[in-house]
Amino acid sequence: MRPTTVRTYALRTLSAALAALLFANAHAATTLNGDGSWAGFNVDANLPPYSFAWVDDEAATLSFSVTVPAGFVGRLTVVDLGISGDQFRVMDGAAWLGDTGTAVNGDVAGALQFSAEQALADSAFSRGIFTLAAGTHTISGLMIKSTSFIDPANGNSLSTDASIGALNLTLSPVPEPSKSASLLAGLGMLVWALRRNSLRHG
């Protein structure tokens, strides 16, 4: 094996092993709760089924079932882990929610994170925040850009075509319309009173 191939293989193996340790229940627990806890996913287009889709530790296609209760809005956060440089397309069933942001290629910056919170705080890592309305959602994704390395032997760019990532969901109550209307009415009365007072004294 060429040194670059050995390095790429070693990085993939390390990433997969750490993902298995950090997110051992990712393939079993496909329900994503709204408590902000992180769930993990893998991508490895080098192994069967040779896909860029999110998979579990056993290479089975992975999706997350999400329920946002009535009166709440969901905030879905997706972040790249391992070596920076990967980007993901996030889907809700057949609907495209969006893509995670651009990232610094790990070969250039050497950014390496296996904690979702630390990766989220590190601007080198791709992340995306998506809003989910009340209802049931099926969240899945695929890698649309992979970290690449320059082969020192020939100068060619080699893509790892493998990644790990994490996602979580938090829920927030939607303000009641009556409270919003009362707030606007009160604000309107305040503006009217201030304007009337300034005209009287002005």
Chain-centre distance for alpha carbon 113 = 14
Pick the CATH number of 3-175 from 3.30.420.40, 2.60.120.380, 3.20.20.70, 1.10.390.10: 2.60.120.380
For residues 96 and 82, give the distance between their C-alpha atoms in angstroms, rounded to a whole number: 25
Give domain limits for the chain.
Answer: 3-175
Quote the pLDDT of residue 50: 86
Quote the pLDDT of residue 157: 78
Quote the pLDDT of residue 88: 97
Quote the pLDDT of residue 89: 98
Quote the pLDDT of residue 156: 82
User: What pTM was estimated for this model as a whole?
Assistant: 0.73
Q: Across the 202 residues of the chain, what is the mean pLDDT of every consecutive 10-residue run?
A: 48 46 45 95 88 91 95 97 93 96 72 92 94 97 88 80 95 78 74 72 64
For residues 168 and 31, give the distance between their C-alpha atoms in angstroms, rounded to a whole number: 11
